[in-house]
């Protein structure tokens, strides 16, 4: 059975409670920050959502019925999916203040304590994470490209420069990631406030000219729209759903700003601005059907269109920055939860622990995003690929929410069926509609998701098999201590990194076998990643003495904590900075062999072996002093 394993098993069964997360500050300040980070993606959806409905792969005729039906579906999608599902329900499913697919998975796993649903839940969590990586690639490409395409509404002569300009902006965005976003982040909130005010004003101007468009909010128009041509309406839903892209970010970024600030920003700024702008685009098309090719920009007068392109471009850069930062956080969580091999993670801020930079992910994203722009050429084609990743993730989140509501919140079964069933029906219909765009570009996020899913499950399963084999061949610690009592002792401290419970680390056995010596003080050190985001400092380290110079130490981290073993060891008596330079850290390095009866397919074993060889070394990951580390190898057949 595949589970999300902690880094190790703690010899003590005490529960470690984490702090609620890093969000600090007044509610207005947090709401301002949320406007700049959380809502960039969904806030820039007016650039392409309405346009895609009427000019995309399943385009509609620009008439009163289709205009009213579209704006009605968009309004009630924002109400049902974003406001009710995410803001009022899912934001309450926090894991010690943190949100996101992996945080939700860890919350359900901890609350349920495993059981027959465990494997299915893990698979759902991994699938949602895999789809997120596809989303993280498409969002910067479609957002920036749709903004720069506004140049075409200023002057048709700008058309040849759209793709080069988009690539230059994207390359610059990825190049600055290593410098961190703390300074730029201070500007995000005010810029996005100005952006939302501008798009609201543009919408109001058009609504005043065609006030009848307000009737489009009546649900009867959605019913008429669907009833007139159900197959066409079903296909159009694949474009309508683009108005809710970025809803998952509300949950994923909850740990940074808190539920109340996100709710405040959505209800009082973002939601009204989006509705006014969509109504404004609809009103514009009522009077001028030809503007359907890019209604967002045609709402502005000619003299202000170029500044609007600049403002929209800045907003899409902010939206892209948010999803790139989110990709870093997801990678960090996946590594901590044992779903990914270790990769180098750099910290870009001394004050904000959550600001990290992952070079491998950054450059991989940059290359793939540029290839997307060059391959798909325009935002319409990219939008066809966009919807599948978004709706797939939303559908999985609805399934997880159903399990949470029934098994953790103890909702009555009829209530779960009525509420969660409705969300699953809505998300399922949107996902099915987007599947019809598979050959128009929808294959891309599914391909990326399939690759990511294979890598994540292969690493989790391979690591699980390797731990099982090591446990099978291990020697109980109490027996070893008695048998090694007469061994020669070196007058120093040795720390043996181990992931096994109450057994002898392979490095300790090899040290005695080949060097015929045991240190005077031996610390069997285990790093455990708990299924909470953060662990309080006073509960960071637990220890247990086994006598005769042996002790077992467990360092507890949350899946959002930054791992620093030497800093944690300083909390133990006799392990201060001066002692650290006389301490040797012994690490085990495994070479994998294929067993007679392999635990998984041979190609997956080879893939796991390759991932293991290319993972960041434990010395770098645990921040061990380089000149105090000794690695001893062993062979493991899986």
Per-residue tokens: 390: 């978004």
In a domain, 17, yes or no: no
In a domain, 485, yes or no: yes
In a domain, 267, yes or no: yes
Both 185 and 210 in a single domain? Answer: yes
606 has pLDDT over 50: yes
pLDDT average, residue stretch 565-575: 80
Both 479 and 449 in a single domain? Answer: no
Both 308 and 404 in a single domain? Answer: yes
Angle CA 279–283–287, to nearest 5: 170
- Of residues 21 and 134, more confidence is placed in 134
Q: What is the pLDDT of residue 227?
A: 95
Both 74 and 223 in a single domain? Answer: yes
C-alpha–C-alpha distance, residues 198 and 308, integer Å: 9
Q: Is 579 helix (H, G, I), strand (E, B) or coil?
A: helix
Both 274 and 386 in a single domain? Answer: yes
Cα 577 → chain centroid: 36
Q: What is the pLDDT of residue 572?
A: 78
Q: Is 547 exposed, middle or buried (0-12, 13-18, 19+ CB in 10 A)?
A: exposed
In a domain, 6, yes or no: no
- Enclosing H/E stretch for 26: none
Q: Are 391 and 430 in contact (CB under 8 A)?
A: yes
Q: Is 218 helix (H, G, I), strand (E, B) or coil?
A: coil
351 has pLDDT over 70: no
Q: Which of 461, 495, 518 finishes a domain? A: 461
Both 300 and 405 in a single domain? Answer: yes
Phi, then psi, of 373 in degrees rounded to 5: -60, -45
Q: Are 587 and 619 in contact (CB under 8 A)?
A: yes
In a domain, 9, yes or no: no
Both 622 and 527 in a single domain? Answer: yes
In this predicted model, what pLDDT tens digit does every residue of 586-602 receive, in sequence order? 888 777 777 777 788 88
Both 62 and 175 in a single domain? Answer: yes
Q: What is the pLDDT of residue 10?
A: 39
Q: How many CB atoms lie within 10 A of CB 114?
A: 12
Q: Which of 435, 461, 487 finishes a domain? A: 461
Q: What is the pLDDT of residue 319?
A: 86
Print burial letters for 168-195: b (CB count within 10 Å at least 16), e (below 16): ebbeebbeebeebbeeebeebbebbbeb
Both 381 and 524 in a single domain? Answer: no
User: E strands along 460-612, which residues?
Assistant: 489-497, 518-529, 541-547, 550-557, 583-593
Confidence of residue 3 (pLDDT cuts 50, 70, 90): very low
In a domain, 4, yes or no: no
Confidence of residue 368 (pLDDT cuts 50, 70, 90): very high
C-alpha–C-alpha distance, residues 166 and 174, integer Å: 13
pLDDT average, residue stretch 86-98: 84
- Of residues 50 and 517, more confidence is placed in 50
In a domain, 466, yes or no: no
Q: Is 495 helix (H, G, I), strand (E, B) or coil?
A: strand
614: domain range? 473-637
Per-residue tokens: 518: 């045991």
% the chain with pLDDT above 90:
34
Q: Are 555 and 528 in contact (CB under 8 A)?
A: yes
Phi, then psi, of 511 in degrees rounded to 5: -65, -45
- Enclosing H/E stretch for 605: helix 602-614
Per-residue tokens: 493: 């401290």
Both 607 and 491 in a single domain? Answer: yes
Q: Are 634 and 510 in contact (CB under 8 A)?
A: yes
**Domains: count for the chain:** 2
Both 452 and 484 in a single domain? Answer: no
Q: Are 298 and 288 in contact (CB under 8 A)?
A: yes
Q: Are 279 and 202 in contact (CB under 8 A)?
A: no
Both 323 and 219 in a single domain? Answer: yes
184 has pLDDT over 90: no
Closest CA to 616 of 335, 416, 392, 401: 335
Q: Which of 461, 490, 524 finishes a domain? A: 461
In a domain, 15, yes or no: no
Closest CA to 529 of 545, 519, 540: 540
């Amino acid at each position: 059975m595949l589970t999300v394993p902690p880094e190790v098993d703690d010899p003590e069964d005490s529960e470690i409670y984490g702090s609620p997360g890093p969000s600090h500050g007044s509610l207005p300040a947090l709401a301002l920050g949320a406007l700049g980070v959380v809502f960039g993606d969904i806030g820039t959806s007016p650039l392409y959502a309405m346009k895609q409905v009427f000019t995309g792969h399943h385009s509609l005729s620009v008439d009163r019925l289709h205009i009213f039906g579209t704006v009605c579906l968009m309004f009630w999608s924002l109400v049902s999916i974003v406001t009710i599902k995410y803001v009022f329900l899912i934001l309450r499913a926090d894991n010690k203040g943190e949100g996101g697919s992996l945080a939700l998975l860890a919350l359900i796993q901890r609350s349920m304590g495993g059981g027959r649903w465990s494997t299915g839940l893990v698979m759902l969590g991994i699938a949602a994470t895999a789809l997120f990586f596809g989303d993280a690639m498409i969002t910067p490409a479609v957002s920036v490209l749709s903004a720069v395409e506004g140049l075409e509404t200023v002057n048709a002569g700008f058309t040849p420069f759209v793709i080069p300009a988009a690539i230059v902006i994207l390359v610059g965005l990825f190049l600055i990631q290593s410098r961190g976003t703390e300074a730029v982040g201070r500007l995000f909130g005010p810029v996005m406030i100005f952006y939302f005010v501008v798009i609201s004003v543009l919408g109001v101007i058009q609504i005043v000219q065609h006030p009848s468009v307000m009737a489009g909010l009546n649900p009867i128009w959605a019913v008429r729209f669907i009833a007139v041509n159900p197959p066409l309406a079903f296909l159009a839903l694949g474009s309508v759903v683009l108005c809710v892209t970025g809803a998952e970010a509300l949950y994923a970024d909850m740990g940074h700003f808190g539920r109340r600030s996100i709710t405040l920003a959505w209800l009082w700024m973002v939601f009204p601005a989006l509705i006014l702008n969509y109504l404004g685009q609809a009103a514009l098309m009522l009077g001028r059907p030809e503007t359907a090719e890019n209604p967002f920009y045609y709402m502005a007068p000619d003299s202000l269109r170029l500044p609007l392109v600049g403002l929209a471009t800045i907003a899409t850069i902010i939206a892209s920055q948010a999803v790139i930062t989110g990709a870093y956080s997801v990678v960090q969580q996946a590594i901590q939860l044992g779903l990914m091999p270790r990769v180098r993670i750099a910290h870009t801020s001394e004050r904000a622990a959550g600001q990290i930079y992952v070079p491998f992910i950054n450059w991989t994203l940059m290359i793939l995003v540029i290839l997307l722009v060059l391959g798909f050429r325009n935002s319409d084609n990219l939008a066809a690929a966009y919807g599948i990743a978004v709706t797939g993730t939303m559908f999985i989140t609805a399934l997880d929410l159903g399990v949470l509501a029934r098994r953790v919140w103890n909702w009555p079964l009829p209530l779960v069926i009525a509420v969660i069933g409705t969300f699953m029906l809505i998300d399922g219909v949107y996902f099915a509609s987007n599947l019809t765009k598979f050959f128009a570009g929808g294959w891309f996020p599914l391909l990326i998701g399939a690759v990511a899913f294979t890598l994540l499950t292969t690493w989790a399963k391979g690591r699980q098999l390797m731990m099982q084999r090591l446990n099978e061949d291990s020697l109980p610690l109490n027996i070893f201590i008695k048998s090694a009592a007469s061994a020669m002792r070196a007058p120093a401290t040795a720390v043996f990194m181990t992931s096994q419970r109450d057994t002898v680390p392979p490095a300790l056995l090899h040290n005695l076998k080949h060097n015929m010596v045991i240190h005077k003080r031996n610390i069997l050190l285990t790093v455990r990643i708990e299924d909470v985001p953060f662990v309080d400092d006073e509960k960071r380290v637990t220890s247990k003495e086994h006598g005769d110079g042996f002790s077992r130490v467990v360092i507890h981290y949350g899946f959002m904590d930054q791992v620093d073993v030497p800093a944690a060891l300083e909390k133990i008596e006799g392990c201060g900075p001066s002692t650290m330079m006389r301490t040797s850290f012994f690490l085990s390095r495994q070479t994998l062999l294929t067993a007679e009866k392999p635990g998984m397919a041979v190609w997956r074993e080879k893939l796991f072996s390759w991932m293991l060889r290319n993972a960041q070394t434990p010395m770098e990951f645990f921040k061990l002093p380089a000149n105090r580390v000794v690695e001893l190898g062993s062979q493991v057949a899986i």
